[in-house]
Structure 1
Amino acid sequence: MEEKVILVVDDEPRSRQGIKKTIERVSHHQYEVITAANAEEAIKRIDNEKIHVLITDIRMPEVSGLELLRKLKEKAKDPVVIVISAYSEFEYAHEALELGVVNYLLKPIAKEKLMEAIEKAIELENQRKKTGMFNKIVDDKLMEMQQLSKYNRAVKEAMDYIDQHYDEELTLKEVAKQVHLNASYLSALFKEELQITFSEYLTRKRMQEAKKLLLSTDFTIAEIAEKSGYQTSKYFIRLFKQFEDMTPNAFRKHNENDF
C-alpha cells in the first residue's frame, strides 16, 4: 500500500518540528512527514512530489497559509488541507473553508485533536483517490446501459455473458448460442435496444478493464492486451488509441501521478 505523505508548513521551527515528531511518534512512522518553512518552499515540494495531506499555518510572513491555498487552487493541486492557527478570528476560518480546508485547528494543538484530524484527512484522501480512479476508468455509456433494466431478457443475458468472458476470444455467434438466439437476430436486438453494435459493447467493456489494469497494476502492455481479450498488443494499442486518443502507455504515464 502506498505510503501517505504529509507536508507540514509553519514558519516557526519549534512548531513545525513539534508537529512532525508528534505525527511520527503517535502513528509509529506510518506516514512520511516532510516540512517546509514557508509557502514558497511548500509550493516547490508540492510541484515536485505527491503530497496527500497538507498541514499549514494560516499566518506566515510574505505569503500566508490562505495565499498558499489560493496558489494551489490555481495550479489544480489538491492535497487534503488542515489549517492551524493561533488566531480564532472567524474570517480566517470562513475563508479557509471556502478554499476547501477540511479541518481548522487552533494552537496549541492537542495531540489527540491533531491525530484525529489527520485520520479524517487520510480517509478523505483515500475516498478522493478511489473516486478519481473510478472516473478515469469507467465508461459512462457502458455504465448507463448496465444500470438500465428495460432490456430484452436475451440482451441482458448476452451483456452478462460478455461481462464475465470479455477476456476470452468472443464472437457474436458464440454469445448468441449462449442465449439461444441466432447471431443475426441478437445483432439486431443489440442495435435496437442499446443503440450500439455487439462489437462496440464488447470493445467498450474490454477498454474499461484495460484502463483499470493500466492504473492499478504493473502489467506490461502485452499482458494487459491478453488479459483484456486481445491476441496481439498491436491491435489492442490501435483500438485503445481510437477510444482514448492516446496509447495505453501514454494513458498510464498521464495518470500515474494521480494515484
Structure 2
Amino acid sequence: MYKLMIVDDEPQILEGMKRILDWKQYGFGRIETCESTEEAMSKVIDLMPDVAIFDVCIGKQFGYDAIRRLNEIQIPTNYIIMSGYSEFKYAQEAIRCGVKDYLLKPVDRIKLQQVIEKIIVEELGGTVDNMSSDHLNKDPVLGVSYDSLSKLVNRILLMIKTEYTQNITLKSVAERFQMNSTYLGQLFLKETTMKFSEYLMAYRMLLAQERIQSTDEKISSIAFSVGYNNLNYFYTHFHGFFGKSPSDLRGKG
C-alpha cells in the first residue's frame, strides 16, 4: 500500500485534496495531512511517504524549500507542488528541486489523476490497469485494454497522456528509457500497429475534438492546449484525421 502526505496551511484545502481522488483505489492506504512545513519535515521522516503534495506557500514558508531540505537528506519521496500563483519563479524553483509536477489551484482532478498514475507507473513500479472505470481500463486511441499491452508500451502511453502538450518525441522517450529510438519505435509499432507519431497525433486529435464539441474556446487556444504551436499544422492534421475542419465539427462552418 502506498502512503500519501498533503501539506497546506488551509484545512479546507487539505480536506478537499483528501476527497479529490479515490486514493484507496490507487493503492494509497495511508494519508497524512500537515498544516506547516515544520510538521511536514517531522512527519515525512516518520512516514516516508511515496507521494507528498506541498502547497507552494505554507504560512511564511515555501513548500519547495522544505522539499529541497528533504532531498538533501535523501528521502525517497515523489513531490508535487500545488499553487494559487502562476508566477514563473515559483514553478522554476519547484522544477529545480525535482518535483514531478506543478499544479495550479483549484487543482484539476483529471490532471492530478494523470500525474498520480504517471508516478505509480514510472516511479513506484506499479500499474493502473486495475482501475474499475472503463476509461482507465481501455486506451481511447487503440481501443484495447491496457492489460493486453506490455508494461513498456503502457509506460510510453502514460508519458504521452501526461506530456502531450509538450514537444514529446520518440527520441526523447527513448532517451529516458536509455534505449535506441529505432528499436523502441519498432517495438511500439509491432504491439500497437501504430507509429509513435501516429498515436501521439491521434491522441491529440481526440482531445481537440472533445474540447471543440464541449467548449466555446477559440480553435487556436485548443490547438495550443493539445501541443500544436503551429495553427496551420493543426488544421492540416485535423482535416486529415476527421475529414472536416474544426469549425465544421463544431457546427459553425
TM-score normalised per structure 1: 0.45
Identify the structure with the greater helix proportion.
1
The structure having more radius of gyration, on CA atoms, is 1
TM-score normalised per structure 2: 0.46
